Amino acid sequence: MIPAHFLTTNSAEDKSQVAVIPRGNQGTPCGEKALLMAPKLRGYHCSTAVHCAIETGFRHFDTAYYYENEKEVGEALRTQINMGNISRENIFLTTKLWNTHHDPRDVRRICQKQLELLGFSYIDLYLMHFPVGYKNVCDEILRPMSGDQIQTVEIDYLDTWRAMEDLVKLGMVRSIGLSNFNMEQIQRLIQCSSSKPVVNQVEIWPGFLQKDLVDYCRYNGIVVTAFSPLGQPNRENHCPVYFFSEGMKRLVKKYRRSAGQIVLRYLIDYGVVPIPKAANPLHIRENLNIFDFKLDDADTRLLRGIKPKSRIVKYEIVKDHMFYPFELLNENNEKPEVKEDRTEEPNFPNNFNEDEEENEDNDENKIN
């Protein structure tokens, strides 16, 4: 088990994200400084974002084999270490096992390849990116297609997990966790394995809080990381409604913070670790600057009362697979809170573009 203040993750079938979390001083998994950021970058832009994040104070970097930026992330981190700005011991590095490598015979080999790409001798946290496995044609083909269908395999994620447990014994990774798993799948894994995951990363935002799953993970000591924490706001279309509502504008004026900062603060108080996207240095700093204010109880209740919405990332291209995780969930498990005064309730808005380089498409075939 690793210190709880290090625990978090990120993911997305978007090939270019890197997430970062500042190291907290407390041993609580979702307390102060529990935050991830995910600029959608590769190459030089990815390296620049990592350098900026280190200098801003972030210490947890989350990447994945699927993002194809592990080399750039590792190079930037090693440069900062060589410059004396940080030590390896103060970095918490997360990456993920991609769907094409679920065969237990592939797990150790691909993890070793990822270590070589990153340039480090161990990974702090290694996540299974998705419970559904794909056919492994070769390491370079990440989405093996047959016509318009992805070629999947029926490898049991329990067997994949047991191979990941061996990585811990070998010292290649310090801890292991999950991404995009539902409650039933986590329960099955806990019952049938010698260790339980330290993290589960799932879609969570003010219109889709997944309270049952969050409560279950909290009860079992599993940190929940929230991707799409703002609900993928889109400034052009002004959706989701809550993000651009008059209620949100009132909160922005009251706290003198951006809508994004208010939502991130709310989700941290809710008990999850949010993953906001950021590439611009100003946005990176803004996302970190959310620990010196707190929403009052009335405003927290207003945010909690947002009408429940549907899941954004459904990934229905594999919905017929036996381990497809989302159809097993009650997606509208949050009920609006009844309020005596409805006039102050934010008309809570669905797709957020802070600038052109951070545009996020609404592709439901994307894994986050």
Q: Domain coordinates of the chain in residue numbers?
A: 36-234+272-279
**Minimum mean pLDDT among 155-159, 169-173, 325-329: which range?**
325-329
Task: Provide the pLDDT for residue 20.
Answer: 52
With a pLDDT cut of 70, the percent of the chain lying above it is 77
Checking if the pLDDT of 158 tops 70, the result is: yes
Residues 65, 67, 266, 324: which is the catalytic one?
A: 67
**pLDDT tens for residues 51-85?**
998 999 989 888 999 999 999 999 999 999 999 99
Task: Provide the pLDDT for residue 262.
Answer: 96
315 part of the active site: no
The larger pLDDT score, comparing residue 135 to residue 356, is at 135
Q: What does the block give as tokens for 228?
A: 């799409």
Checking if the pLDDT of 359 tops 80, the result is: no
Quick one: average pLDDT of 146-165? 97
Please state whether beta strands 133-134 and 152-153 pair in parallel, antiparallel, or not at all (unpaired): antiparallel
Say if CB 9 and CB 177 are below 8 A apart: yes
pLDDT band of residue 336 (cuts 50, 70, 90) is: very low
Checking if the pLDDT of 14 tops 60, the result is: no
CATH 3.20.20.100 fits 36-234+272-279, yes or no: yes
Which region, left, alpha or beta, applies to residue 286 given φ > 0 means left and ψ of -120 to 50 means alpha? alpha
Checking if the pLDDT of 148 tops 60, the result is: yes
**Minimum mean pLDDT among 57-61, 218-222, 281-285, 330-334: which range?**
330-334
Task: Provide the pLDDT for residue 36.
Answer: 54
Quick one: average pLDDT of 221-248? 92
Task: Provide the pLDDT for residue 282.
Answer: 87
Checking if the pLDDT of 343 tops 90, the result is: no
**pLDDT tens for residues 256-301?**
999 999 999 999 999 999 887 677 888 889 888 999 999 999 999 9
Alpha carbon of 12 to those of 44, 130, 253, 365, 366: distances in Å?
20, 10, 32, 10, 6
Task: Provide the pLDDT for residue 211.
Answer: 96
pLDDT band of residue 34 (cuts 50, 70, 90) is: low
pLDDT band of residue 205 (cuts 50, 70, 90) is: very high
Checking if the pLDDT of 119 tops 50, the result is: yes
- The pTM of the full predicted model, rounded to 2 decimals, is 0.81
The dihedrals phi and psi of 294, each to the nearest 5 degrees, come to -145, 140
Checking if the pLDDT of 344 tops 90, the result is: no
- One-letter amino acid at 105 equals R
Say if CB 206 and CB 334 are below 8 A apart: no
Task: Provide the pLDDT for residue 42.
Answer: 84
Return mean pLDDT, the chain: 82
pLDDT band of residue 33 (cuts 50, 70, 90) is: low
Task: Provide the pLDDT for residue 227.
Answer: 87
